[in-house]
Structure 1
Amino acid sequence: MKIIGLLGGMSWESSSEYYRIINQTVNRKLGGHHSAKSVMYSVDFEEIKKLQHNNRWDEATKLMVEGAQYIEKGGADFLVICTNTMHKMASEIQQHISIPILHIADATARKIKDQGISRIGLLGTKFTMEEDFYKGRLIANFNLDVNIPSKKERPLLTGLQHENKFVAIF
Structure 2
Amino acid sequence: MRTLGLLGGMSAESTTLYYQELNRLVRERLGGLHSAQLLLWSVDFAGIAEMQAAGDWHGAGAALADAARRLEVAGAQAILICANTMHLVADQVQAAVAVPVIHIADATADAVRAAGCSRPLLLATKFTMEKDFYRGRLAAQGVEAIVPDQVDRDRLHAIIYDELCQGVISAASKTEVLAMIAKAPEVDCVIFGCTEIGLLLAPGDLSVPVVDTALVHALAGVEFALS
Give the TM-score, by structure 2 length. 0.69
- Unaligned residue ranges in structure 1 (runs of 5+): none
CA displacement at 1:55 relative to structure 2:
1.1
Specify the alignment match of 2:52 in structure 1: 52
1:125 is matched with which residue?
Answer: 125
Residue 110 to residue 99, structure 1, CA distance change in 2 (3 Å): same
Q: 1:57 to 1:158 in 2, by over 3 A?
A: closer
Deviations along 1:75-134, one digit per CA (max 9) or x if unpaired, are 011010000000000011111100001000000110111111111110111101000111
Deviation for aligned residue 1:156:
7.3
User: What corresponds to 1:97 in structure 2?
Assistant: 97
**Two-structure CA RMSD over aligned residues (Å):** 2.2
SS at match of 1:146: coil
3-state SS in 1 of match to 2:14: helix
Tell me the residue number matched to 2:42: 42
Partner residue in 1 for 2:80: 80
Q: Would you say how many aligned residue pairs link Structure 1 and Structure 2?
A: 167
- Match of 2:151, as an amino acid? K
Q: 1:27, 1:33 within 8 Å by CA — same for their partners in 2?
A: yes
Q: CA deviation at 1:154?
A: 3.7
What is the CA–CA distance in structure 2 between the aligned matches of 1:161 and 1:81, rounded to whole Å? 18
Secondary structure at the residue paired with 1:25? helix
State TM-score, norm by structure 1.
0.91
Structure 1 residues 90 and 120 mapped into 2: Cα distance closer, same or farther (>3 Å)? Answer: same
Task: Identify the residue that residue 7 of structure 2 maps to in structure 1.
Answer: 7
Q: Alignment identity in percent?
A: 43
Q: In structure 2, what residue type is equivalent to 1:13? A: E
Greater share of strand: 1
Greater relative CO, 1 or 2 (CA 8 Å, sep 6+): 2
Residue 151 (structure 1) aligns with: 150
Contact kept? 1:118, 1:144, Cα under 8 Å: yes
CA contact (8 A) 1:122 1:148 kept: yes
